[in-house]
Amino acid sequence: MAVENMDKLLHDIREVVAENVQDVVRTEQITRMETEFDARFKSLEDAVASAATPAVATSTADAAELTKEAFAEYLRAGSKALTTGTDGREYVKAVGDQASLGVLSEGGILLPKVFGNMVNPLNRKGSPVRQLASVRAATGMGFVTPFKTTQGTAGTRTEMGAINTSPAPQYNTIQHTFTEIDAEELITVWAANGAENVNLMEGIVQDILASLDEKESDVFLNGEFQNALGQTIGGVSTVKNGILKQTKLVAGVDEYTNVVGSLAGVETASATAVTADDIIDLLTSLHDRYADNAVVLTSRDLVKRILTLKDEEGRYLLSVGSVQDGFAARIWNTGLRTSDHFAKFADAVDAPIAVAGDFRSSVVIADAQGTMFLSDPYTDKRFVKTRASRRTSSSIVNYNGLRGLYKKPAA
């Protein structure tokens, strides 16, 4: 979708709202515009994610689609779908209109024993936290990662004055607690044996991946899995992994606030609305060292609420960026991403309605193993079951790099 169309849509919505006309026709028009904006915003997000996704090397076709089709063909036909390449490795055969047409001189996509190398890049399309965070692959179950609890400091001296010896940055460690995300679907052996006109297996693979992505995002944002600290800090010995499940902290917060287990931030001025000043407070509560790589992660519900918000100079907060910029939309040149796992503004209680910060330096995702697929045609000979699973974990490793926007409690 063209960025120009998005700009026009935003303009139309703002014009209608500015007229402040409350008749039924106008109300329905606003509703239709919001619905269309929601769909187009999602379309831009998908385009951004697709553009940012690493691809398997191909010569003439889309790598992601070929990967899914080749893998689905392997699940459907088993070893009959394979051929040995000149390098001695197994590839999906290039026969008829199968997925491997035009891919590699050997005639197919390489199928490793663990399909994570093919599948994991696809996951980033549907998991916004995975796109933003730092990801560690194949860590095993005992993964431990350091995180910074205090920053280093510097001082000044005169020409012959004493050298300042500043305390070194203080670190602790997080012991990740892994959980397995899995999904299983089945089709009849009639469909699996190739008699169907539509490739149902490919659809199942794609649907399973989408289910994993959705559940994974929920776990990263709302998970309550406890990560153990290497040592107790301020009475805290374990922290929840979910970004939105950290303890609310708004009193006395400034850009230096760094409290393990608490997501520092600001409250909205009103319990019923979000203003431009609230967004300014959120962004300016973040330390400047994280500003260049900062992203605002929030819900589409909040995006709709800020469509018509302006700063003191009459400029809209929300602007549409190009896909080449890396984000579908921006708030004052800060990247904007959305997730369906935030509470809506009206329902939010002590949980952030938006999180801003440098996710790459603040959140670590650890995958104990690549995505595993299992095809089972034996348990019930009428069906072929396809199961996928991934053992993963996440943790905040730099509390100074994130800030939350909270809704003010009702009086």
Instruction: Read off the pLDDT of residues 155-188 as tens digits, 9 standing for 90 and up.
Output: 788 889 888 776 666 778 999 999 999 999 888 8
Phi, psi (deg, nearest 5) at residue 243: -60, -40
Instruction: Assess if residue 291 is contained within a domain.
Output: yes
| 105 in the same domain as 10 | no
Q: What is the value of pTM for the model shown?
A: 0.78
Mean pLDDT within 22-40: 68
Residues whose CB is less than 8 angstroms from the CB of residue 333 and which lie 6 or more positions away in sequence, other chains included = none
Instruction: Assess if residue 313 is contained within a domain.
Output: no
pLDDT at 112 over 60: no
| 190 in the same domain as 234 | yes
| 174 in the same domain as 247 | yes
| 232 in the same domain as 182 | yes
pLDDT at 47 over 80: no
Which has the higher per-residue pLDDT, 323 or 297? 297
pLDDT digits (tens, 9 = 90+) for 326-384: 556 888 889 889 999 999 999 999 999 999 999 999 999 999 987 888 888 888 888 88
* Domain of 14, in residue numbers: 3-52
pLDDT at 106 over 50: no
pLDDT at 58 over 50: no
Q: How confident is the model at residue 23 (pLDDT cuts 50, 70, 90)?
A: low
Number of structural domains (the chain) is 3
Whole-number pLDDT of residue 62: 53
Considering only CA atoms, give the Rg of the chain. 25
Whole-number pLDDT of residue 328: 66
Residue-wise DSSP of 329-394: EEETTEEEEE-TTSPPGGG-SSS-SEEEE-HHHHEEEEESS--EEEEESSSSTTEEEEEEEEEEEE
The DSSP symbol for 104 reads T
Instruction: Assess if residue 159 is contained within a domain.
Output: no
| 39 in the same domain as 14 | yes
Q: What is the CATH number of the domain that holds 243?
A: 3.30.2400.10
| 213 in the same domain as 293 | yes
| 396 in the same domain as 343 | yes
Lowest mean pLDDT among 66-70, 85-89, 118-122: 118-122
Q: What is the chain's mean pLDDT, rounded? A: 79
| 193 in the same domain as 106 | no
- Give dist(CA 70, CA 91) in Å, integer: 9
Instruction: Assess if residue 246 is contained within a domain.
Output: yes
